[in-house]
Amino acid sequence: MENQSEPATQDFVSRFLDPARAGDYAVDADGATLRKRGRADDDLARYGAAEDREQWAEVQAELMEGILERTDAMLEIENVRKAFAGHDALFAWRGPLSGDVLDVGGGWGLFRQWWTARPGETFVVHDPGIERHDAGPYPEQREVYARAFARPLVFVEGVGETLPYRDGSFDTALINASLDHTLDPQRVFREIFRVLKPGGTFLCMEHIEDAQKVNPEHYTVRRRIERVVKDPSRVVGFVRAKMHHDHHMHHFTSGSLGRLAREAGFRQISTEVLDMEHRTIAVESKKPFDAPA
């Protein structure tokens, strides 16, 4: 679909990329894929201990394999539909993502679904998993996220710990189900803070460990039993999840996510439950207007 907001590469480079980092990238013939010269994880060399970086590379390779071979449980169509419904409800309530948007660890750019996509606005997915971008989404996902895939995208290969964008470039930033895959979440939040415009919005959606604190009602013994009686396949899902090798580098709580945001400089931090079943929450915050650009 033709869309006036389709970015011309030169315009994208001059508007968004830090001139000192522009040389790190080669642009594909599609004009909308910026491929790192060298390896994306070279950028992580300055962060964390060597064994953590090794673990990151291993976890990332397993994640990509699970996605490309389609063994990742989140790609099962009923899980795709459930995740869609949770996010659809969130954006119906808070309104769409607007302006120039940066989706860190954004995968296929599914959140274009809930973006204003006005002429002149750009949606950037920044993610080290370029093999997933190259392979493209599955047909069922194209169907569920039809609006997202009809909208333009710039894909930039790279990790969230070091973003190649100018200070104060984006109106909105988001990170969905990806912070737990990063090597250094604090560093990722600081980078997101830097590249947001003053007054910009940051939305972090993540699984948490202490969902019972956010909504104790959902976790009473009686409610748990009721859920299993209603849907006995939940037991199979639970056992499978316990046996499944953990593909995450970190686990968060509602408190730890809020603290990360505050330490990075964000204010007006609020938390909403997204989906109690998958224990996901949305933490929304703002970069203050008086923060340096």
Ligand X SMILES: C[S@@+](CC[C@H](N)C(=O)[O-])C[C@H]1O[C@@H](n2cnc3c(N)ncnc32)[C@H](O)[C@@H]1O
C-beta neighbour count of 262 within 10 angstroms: 13
x/- track of binding to ligand X for residues 108-127 (CB under 6 A):
--x----------------x
Least distance from C-beta 41 to ligand X, angstroms? Answer: 8
Alpha-carbon gap, residue 115 to 119, rounded angstroms: 12
Alpha-carbon gap, residue 121 to 100, rounded angstroms: 5
Task: Please give the residues from 176 up to 205 whose contact with ligand X meets the rule CB under 6 A.
Answer: 176-178, 181-183
x/- track of binding to ligand X for residues 127-166 (CB under 6 A):
xxx-----------------------------xxx-----
Q: Pick the closer one to ligand X by CB: 129 or 258.
A: 129
24 binds ligand X (CB under 6 A): no
Q: Pick the closer one to ligand X by CB: 127 or 171.
A: 127
Which of 7, 48, 86, 106 is in the footprint of ligand X by CB under 6 A?
Answer: 106
Alpha-carbon gap, residue 7 to 241, rounded angstroms: 41
Least distance from C-beta 287 to ligand X, angstroms? Answer: 19
Alpha-carbon gap, residue 159 to 47, rounded angstroms: 11
Least distance from C-beta 57 to ligand X, angstroms? Answer: 10
Q: Pick the closer one to ligand X by CB: 104 or 153.
A: 104
Least distance from C-beta 216 to ligand X, angstroms? Answer: 27
280 binds ligand X (CB under 6 A): no
Cross-strand pairs, 173: 102, 202
Tokens 């990075």 identify what position? Answer: 264
What is the per-residue DSSP string for 171-231? EEEEEES-GGGSS-HHHHHHHHHHHEEEEEEEEEEEEBS-HHHH-GGGGSHHHHHHHHHH-
Cross-strand pairs, 285: 202
The answer to whether 204 and 174 are in contact (CB under 8 A) is: yes
Q: Pick the closer one to ligand X by CB: 121 or 191.
A: 191
Q: Which two tokens stand for residue 223?
A: 């409610």
Q: Pick the closer one to ligand X by CB: 128 or 152.
A: 128
107 binds ligand X (CB under 6 A): yes
x/- track of binding to ligand X for residues 44-73 (CB under 6 A):
----------------x--x----------
The answer to whether 95 and 203 are in contact (CB under 8 A) is: no
Where along the sequence are the contacts to ligand X (CB under 6 A)?
60, 63, 104-107, 110, 127-129, 159-161, 176-178, 181-183
